[in-house]
Structure 1
Protein backbone atom coordinates (compact mmCIF):
# COMPACT_ATOMS: atom_id res chain seq x y z
CA UNK A 1 0.00 0.00 0.00
CA UNK A 2 1.42 3.38 -1.04
CA UNK A 3 0.70 6.17 1.43
CA UNK A 4 0.60 9.69 -0.04
CA UNK A 5 2.83 12.23 1.71
CA UNK A 6 1.20 14.94 3.79
CA UNK A 7 0.83 18.17 1.86
CA UNK A 8 3.41 20.74 2.90
CA UNK A 9 3.05 23.18 0.02
CA UNK A 10 -0.03 24.75 -1.50
CA UNK A 11 -0.52 24.50 -5.26
CA UNK A 12 -2.76 27.61 -5.27
CA UNK A 13 -0.01 29.66 -3.58
CA UNK A 14 2.42 28.27 -6.16
CA UNK A 15 0.23 29.66 -8.93
CA UNK A 16 -0.06 33.02 -7.17
CA UNK A 17 3.72 33.18 -6.89
CA UNK A 18 3.92 32.09 -10.55
CA UNK A 19 2.31 35.43 -11.47
CA UNK A 20 5.59 36.92 -10.26
CA UNK A 21 7.38 33.93 -11.77
CA UNK A 22 9.79 35.95 -13.84
CA UNK A 23 11.42 36.59 -10.43
CA UNK A 24 11.61 32.87 -9.68
CA UNK A 25 9.33 33.18 -6.63
CA UNK A 26 7.39 29.96 -7.32
CA UNK A 27 10.61 28.01 -7.88
CA UNK A 28 12.02 29.15 -4.53
CA UNK A 29 8.71 28.21 -2.89
CA UNK A 30 8.80 24.66 -4.25
CA UNK A 31 12.41 24.13 -3.10
CA UNK A 32 14.30 24.84 -6.32
CA UNK A 33 16.67 27.67 -5.33
CA UNK A 34 19.19 27.14 -8.15
CA UNK A 35 16.58 27.54 -10.87
CA UNK A 36 14.91 30.26 -8.82
CA UNK A 37 18.11 32.28 -9.04
CA UNK A 38 18.35 31.49 -12.77
CA UNK A 39 14.74 32.65 -13.30
CA UNK A 40 15.45 35.81 -11.28
CA UNK A 41 18.57 36.66 -13.32
CA UNK A 42 17.00 35.90 -16.72
CA UNK A 43 13.42 37.15 -16.20
CA UNK A 44 11.95 33.67 -16.07
CA UNK A 45 14.39 32.23 -18.58
CA UNK A 46 13.42 34.98 -21.01
CA UNK A 47 9.73 34.42 -20.14
CA UNK A 48 9.73 31.07 -21.96
CA UNK A 49 10.53 29.07 -18.82
CA UNK A 50 7.99 31.14 -16.93
CA UNK A 51 5.22 30.11 -19.34
CA UNK A 52 6.32 26.44 -19.33
CA UNK A 53 6.23 26.48 -15.51
CA UNK A 54 2.48 27.11 -15.65
CA UNK A 55 2.17 23.43 -16.58
CA UNK A 56 4.98 22.17 -14.32
CA UNK A 57 3.62 23.52 -11.02
CA UNK A 58 1.53 20.41 -10.14
CA UNK A 59 4.64 18.23 -10.41
CA UNK A 60 6.75 20.71 -8.43
CA UNK A 61 4.06 20.67 -5.73
CA UNK A 62 4.05 16.85 -5.52
CA UNK A 63 7.86 16.74 -5.27
CA UNK A 64 7.91 19.40 -2.54
CA UNK A 65 5.23 17.53 -0.59
CA UNK A 66 7.29 14.33 -0.79
CA UNK A 67 10.58 16.05 0.11
CA UNK A 68 9.64 18.22 3.09
CA UNK A 69 8.21 17.27 6.49
CA UNK A 70 4.91 18.66 7.66
CA UNK A 71 4.54 19.86 11.21
CA UNK A 72 3.63 22.85 13.32
CA UNK A 73 5.40 25.31 11.02
CA UNK A 74 3.35 25.90 7.86
CA UNK A 75 5.43 26.35 4.72
CA UNK A 76 2.85 28.55 3.00
CA UNK A 77 2.54 30.88 5.98
CA UNK A 78 6.31 31.26 6.28
CA UNK A 79 6.65 31.89 2.54
CA UNK A 80 3.95 34.57 2.54
CA UNK A 81 5.65 36.25 5.49
CA UNK A 82 9.06 36.07 3.80
CA UNK A 83 7.81 37.29 0.44
CA UNK A 84 5.89 40.30 1.72
CA UNK A 85 7.50 41.10 5.10
CA UNK A 86 10.95 39.52 4.84
CA UNK A 87 12.87 42.74 5.38
CA UNK A 88 11.16 43.06 8.77
CA UNK A 89 12.09 39.51 9.81
CA UNK A 90 8.49 38.45 10.44
CA UNK A 91 9.16 34.98 8.98
CA UNK A 92 12.04 34.61 11.46
CA UNK A 93 9.77 35.53 14.38
CA UNK A 94 7.26 32.95 13.07
CA UNK A 95 9.96 30.27 13.30
CA UNK A 96 10.85 31.29 16.86
CA UNK A 97 14.19 32.77 15.78
CA UNK A 98 13.82 35.94 17.84
CA UNK A 99 17.43 37.17 17.72
CA UNK A 100 17.78 36.95 13.94
CA UNK A 101 14.24 38.36 13.62
CA UNK A 102 15.29 41.42 15.59
CA UNK A 103 18.48 41.75 13.53
CA UNK A 104 16.43 41.61 10.33
CA UNK A 105 14.03 44.20 11.78
CA UNK A 106 16.76 46.75 12.52
CA UNK A 107 18.86 46.06 9.42
CA UNK A 108 16.26 45.76 6.66
CA UNK A 109 16.50 42.01 6.40
CA UNK A 110 20.24 41.92 6.92
CA UNK A 111 20.67 44.56 4.20
CA UNK A 112 18.62 42.21 1.97
CA UNK A 113 21.41 39.61 2.08
CA UNK A 114 19.53 37.71 4.78
CA UNK A 115 16.31 37.83 2.77
CA UNK A 116 18.05 36.39 -0.30
CA UNK A 117 19.62 33.70 1.90
CA UNK A 118 16.19 32.83 3.31
CA UNK A 119 14.66 32.60 -0.17
CA UNK A 120 17.23 29.90 -0.90
CA UNK A 121 16.97 28.05 2.44
CA UNK A 122 13.52 28.63 3.98
CA UNK A 123 12.17 25.20 3.02
CA UNK A 124 15.19 23.52 4.64
CA UNK A 125 14.87 25.67 7.77
CA UNK A 126 11.20 24.74 8.16
CA UNK A 127 11.87 21.08 7.40
CA UNK A 128 14.48 20.98 10.16
CA UNK A 129 12.15 22.67 12.67
CA UNK A 130 9.28 20.33 11.77
CA UNK A 131 11.49 17.24 12.13
CA UNK A 132 12.51 18.38 15.65
CA UNK A 133 8.88 18.82 16.70
Structure 2
Protein backbone atom coordinates (compact mmCIF):
# COMPACT_ATOMS: atom_id res chain seq x y z
CA UNK A 1 0.00 0.00 0.00
CA UNK A 2 1.17 3.48 -0.83
CA UNK A 3 2.27 5.85 1.93
CA UNK A 4 0.59 9.24 2.43
CA UNK A 5 2.51 12.49 2.31
CA UNK A 6 0.68 13.58 5.49
CA UNK A 7 2.68 13.59 8.71
CA UNK A 8 2.01 10.75 11.15
CA UNK A 9 3.04 12.88 14.14
CA UNK A 10 0.79 15.77 13.06
CA UNK A 11 -2.20 13.45 12.61
CA UNK A 12 -1.52 11.81 15.97
CA UNK A 13 -1.21 15.09 17.86
CA UNK A 14 -4.27 16.58 16.17
CA UNK A 15 -6.28 13.51 17.11
CA UNK A 16 -5.05 13.55 20.72
CA UNK A 17 -5.75 17.24 21.31
CA UNK A 18 -8.63 17.97 18.91
CA UNK A 19 -10.07 14.52 18.15
CA UNK A 20 -13.50 15.48 19.40
CA UNK A 21 -13.61 18.22 16.79
CA UNK A 22 -12.42 16.00 13.93
CA UNK A 23 -9.47 18.27 13.08
CA UNK A 24 -7.29 15.24 12.24
CA UNK A 25 -9.83 14.24 9.58
CA UNK A 26 -9.72 17.71 8.01
CA UNK A 27 -5.91 17.38 8.00
CA UNK A 28 -6.17 14.01 6.23
CA UNK A 29 -8.47 15.55 3.60
CA UNK A 30 -11.62 13.77 4.79
CA UNK A 31 -13.78 16.89 4.91
CA UNK A 32 -17.21 15.20 5.01
CA UNK A 33 -16.44 12.95 7.96
CA UNK A 34 -14.54 15.81 9.59
CA UNK A 35 -17.73 17.88 9.57
CA UNK A 36 -19.69 14.92 10.99
CA UNK A 37 -17.16 14.51 13.80
CA UNK A 38 -17.29 18.24 14.48
CA UNK A 39 -21.09 18.17 14.78
CA UNK A 40 -21.16 15.03 16.96
CA UNK A 41 -18.10 15.92 19.07
CA UNK A 42 -16.17 12.97 17.72
CA UNK A 43 -19.15 10.62 17.96
CA UNK A 44 -19.29 11.49 21.69
CA UNK A 45 -15.62 10.57 21.90
CA UNK A 46 -15.98 7.00 20.64
CA UNK A 47 -15.27 7.80 16.99
CA UNK A 48 -12.27 9.93 17.98
CA UNK A 49 -10.92 7.10 20.17
CA UNK A 50 -11.25 4.62 17.29
CA UNK A 51 -9.43 7.06 14.98
CA UNK A 52 -6.68 7.46 17.58
CA UNK A 53 -6.18 3.69 17.71
CA UNK A 54 -6.17 3.51 13.88
CA UNK A 55 -3.51 6.22 13.71
CA UNK A 56 -1.34 4.51 16.33
CA UNK A 57 -1.43 1.14 14.51
CA UNK A 58 -0.85 2.89 11.11
CA UNK A 59 -4.23 1.93 9.62
CA UNK A 60 -5.61 5.48 9.27
CA UNK A 61 -5.76 6.67 5.66
CA UNK A 62 -5.93 10.02 3.92
CA UNK A 63 -8.64 11.04 1.45
CA UNK A 64 -6.93 9.10 -1.34
CA UNK A 65 -6.74 5.84 0.64
CA UNK A 66 -3.02 6.06 1.39
CA UNK A 67 -1.91 5.09 4.90
CA UNK A 68 -0.52 7.75 7.22
CA UNK A 69 2.49 5.96 8.68
CA UNK A 70 5.53 6.99 10.74
Indicate whether the TM-score tops 0.5.
yes
What TM-score does the superposition give when structure 2 sets the normalisation length?
0.76
Equivalent in 50, 66, 69 of residue 129 of structure 1: 66
Kindly provide the CA deviation profile for residues 96-118 of structure 1, in whole angstroms up to 9, marking residues without a partner as x: 11111001101111111101111
Gaps of 5+ in 2: none
Bigger shift: residues 95-104 or 115-124: 115-124
With normalisation by structure 1, the TM-score equals: 0.42
Residue pair 2:20, 2:48 contacting (<8 A) in 1 also = yes
Aligned match of 2:33: 100
How many positions carry a matched residue from both structures?
63
- Structure exhibiting the larger radius of gyration computed from Cα positions: 1
**1:79 alignment partner, SS class:** helix
Partner SS state of residue 12, structure 2:
helix
Contact 2:61/2:67 (8 A) holds in 1: yes
Contact residue 3 and residue 66 of structure 2 kept, 8 A? no
- The reply on whether 1:110 has 2:43 as its aligned counterpart is yes
Give the number of the structure whose residues are more often helix, by fraction: 1
Specify every segment of 5 or more residues in structure 1 that has no aligned partner in the other structure, as ranges.
Answer: 1-68
CA RMSD of aligned residues (A): 2.1
